[in-house]
Amino acid sequence: MRILLVLAHPLEDSFAASVARTAREALEASGHVVDLLDLYREDFDPRLSEAERRGYFDVPYDTSAVADTVARLKAADGLILVFPQWWFNFPAILKGFFDRIFAPGVAFSHDAAGGRIVPQLTNIRLLYALTTTGSPWWLVRLYMGDPVRRLLKRGIAAFCSKRLNFKMLGLHDMDSATDAKRTVHLDRVRKLLSAIR
């Protein structure tokens, strides 16, 4: 399987970067081809331009400004996202990735009758999110309602692909996580990704 592994963290020595390295190693050890898209290192511009927004309903939608990244997504069989949750949401650069890359004609098309959108990422068979939060699990899930999981599963995955295998693996209380807890989490990442066939 060809996996697009997207990393969204500004620090090269972050725990998220360690998760991405572990993910890549586990996937490659299982025979998968990994395309690492490190949004910060590749200087991805998350800002939707005026032209992109004005042309949102044009057919075809103009993705020329992000054609290379769109091609990488279209070439993938699976998408794995590695990111921290900040303020119970995506880092801005990852939100911009969705805004600019998950565009009409790429991730979905507009129903000619209006109202609905039609999934277009039929090549993507799995979407995994490997994430961390500074908050405890109960605050994220019980109080906040797990907004990132909901957005990814009910929004992006459901609207852009059909019969997609979705999983989310998170490490909570990241701000106070010990080295032992981080090591256990990396083992969980390795085990999850080694099971992909």
CA-to-CA distance for 50 and 128, rounded, in angstroms?
31
Q: How many domains does the chain have?
A: 1
Nearest to 80 by CA among 119, 33, 122, 14: 33
Q: Is the dihedral of CA 147, 149, 155, 156 positive or negative?
A: positive
HSE-CB for 80 with a 13 A CA cutoff: 27
Span 60-92, pLDDT tens digits: 999 999 999 999 999 999 999 999 999 999 999
Q: 181, 187 in Cβ contact below 8 A?
A: no
Span 96-122, pLDDT tens digits: 999 999 999 999 998 877 778 899 999
Span 136-181, pLDDT tens digits: 889 888 888 899 999 999 989 988 888 899 999 999 999 999 999 9
Instruction: Give me the domain span that covers residue 48.
Output: 2-195
CA-to-CA distance for 87 and 99, rounded, in angstroms?
19
170 residue type, one letter: G
Mean pLDDT computed over every residue of the chain:
94
Task: Give residue 72's Cα distance to chain centre.
Answer: 13
Q: 175, 132 in Cβ contact below 8 A?
A: no
Element (H, E) at 51: helix 50-54
CATH of the domain at 42: 3.40.50.360
